[in-house]
Amino acid sequence: MDLFNVYPLFDIEPVKGEGSFIFDKEGQKYLDLYGGHAVISIGHSHPHYVATISSQLEKIGFYSNSVKNELQKNLARKLGEMSGLTDYSLFLCNSGAEANENALKLASFKTGKSKTISFNKGFHGRTSAAVAVTDNPKIIAPINQKADAIILEMNNIDAVEKELLKGDVAAVMIEGIQGIGGIYVPEVEFLEKLQKLCNENGVVLILDEIQSGYGRSGKFFAFQFANIQPDIVTTAKGMGNGFPIGGVLISPNFEPWFGMLGTTFGGNHLACAAGIAVLDVLKSQKAIANAALVGNYLMQEIAKFEPVKEVRGNGLMIGIEFDIEIAEIRKKLLFDKKIFTGVSGKHIIRLLPPLNLKIENAQFFIKKFEEVLNEMALI
């Protein structure tokens, strides 16, 4: 059997990871400023993470959600404390799309409605409801098409108000910082007005923090730059540092009933052990404050380079936009300078490194970035 060929691949095969570095089959070392799509939050193979998961596996790796699991409660308690959302409850699942799917389902259960509002350049996943609210027609199959999934311009509160006043909207879903779309930060004022409008109209506000959450922005959740309390917050990527886990954080306005949501694998013992280890390391290493500090440094330094049109983001979620196409810059960074970065479209480089990235690694990137721009005669 061969693999279903949906991913264009780099000719690199990582076989080992350590902190902010990965090593390929030939032993070549790379600085990882991409974290495998913003997933690596505490660094590759962090010793505490490895020890916690390994020792859990020796005890019990999995049992279904029909028995008590103290690890789930520990994870929920720690997540509440670290995020500040202590009075929310947690539904555990396995991925970002699944978290969003469940969040949209909750909104629909609560309101009895099905219409959704989301925003242009937004990405929320590839499952049915999640892809319907995603602004990318190419990945919406006919079976996922929802006529009442309305996509509006971000930061245009009047457009949102006009739709909400029709009285048929279940949920508004928005990323804390748009990731795949190119690192666009929603305006604080827009988020605050959005919350107010949702409250006034009985609409569920869902913050998709799958990429921007878990400390990546320099705050636990990116929406916390604004003064809002969303009805639902979704999280995944950084939550397990590579172990598949997602979460739906649900405000006290929602009443659960048995069978309302469910999953076989979600919240299993190993996933919870991974999730707890991530929170422990984020806390002990003050990684969120580090993300703010190192992120600020990177953004300031990158902005100094002439050909950079704009640097956007918060913390270690950074978009570098150029007027020119960036394929060659990224290729040179990867193959010549051995630095992994991400992209968005043809003009934006994305940096999504581990949150405990050391300042000297950030300085190393700046040096190599300058070399590449020099070699390409761009500066």
Ligand X SMILES: Cc1ncc(COP(=O)(O)O)c(C=O)c1O
Q: Which residues bind ligand X (CB under 6 A)?
A: 37, 95-97, 100, 123-125, 175, 179-180, 208, 210-211, 236
Q: Half-sphere exposure of residue 297, counting CA atoms within 13 Å on the CB side?
A: 15
- In terms of C-beta density within 10 A (0-12 exposed, 13-18 middle, 19 or more buried), how is residue 222 classed? buried
The nearer residue to ligand X, 92 or 180, going by C-beta atoms, is: 180
Give the DSSP H or E segment for 372: helix 359-375
> How far apart are CB 363 and ligand X at their closest, in Å?
28
How far apart, in whole angstroms, are the C-alpha atoms of residue 49 and residue 277? Answer: 5
What is each CA distance from 137 to 149, 151, 256, 258, 281, in whole angstroms? 12, 11, 34, 35, 39
The residue with its CB nearest to ligand X is: 96
Residue with tokens 């922005």: 217
Of residues 123, 152, 154, the one with CA closest to residue 139:
123
Q: Are 231 and 206 in contact (CB under 8 A)?
A: yes
Complex with ligand X: residue 208 or 231, whichever CB lies closer: 208
Q: By C-beta, is 180 or 298 nearer to ligand X?
A: 180
C-beta of 344 vs 361, nearer to ligand X? 344
Residue 261 vs 372, nearer CB to ligand X? 261
Minimum CB distance to ligand X, residue 243 (Å): 12
- What is the distance in angstroms between the CA of the first residue and the CA of the last residue of the chain? 49
Measured from the CB atom, the residue of 123 and 369 that comes closer to ligand X is 123
Find the shortest distance in angstroms from Cβ 26 to ligand X: 29
Least distance to ligand X, CB of residue 38, Å:
7
Q: Is 64 exposed, middle or buried (0-12, 13-18, 19+ CB in 10 A)?
A: exposed
- Least CB distance to ligand X at residue 122 (A): 8
Q: How far is the CB of 121 from ligand X (least distance, A)?
A: 11
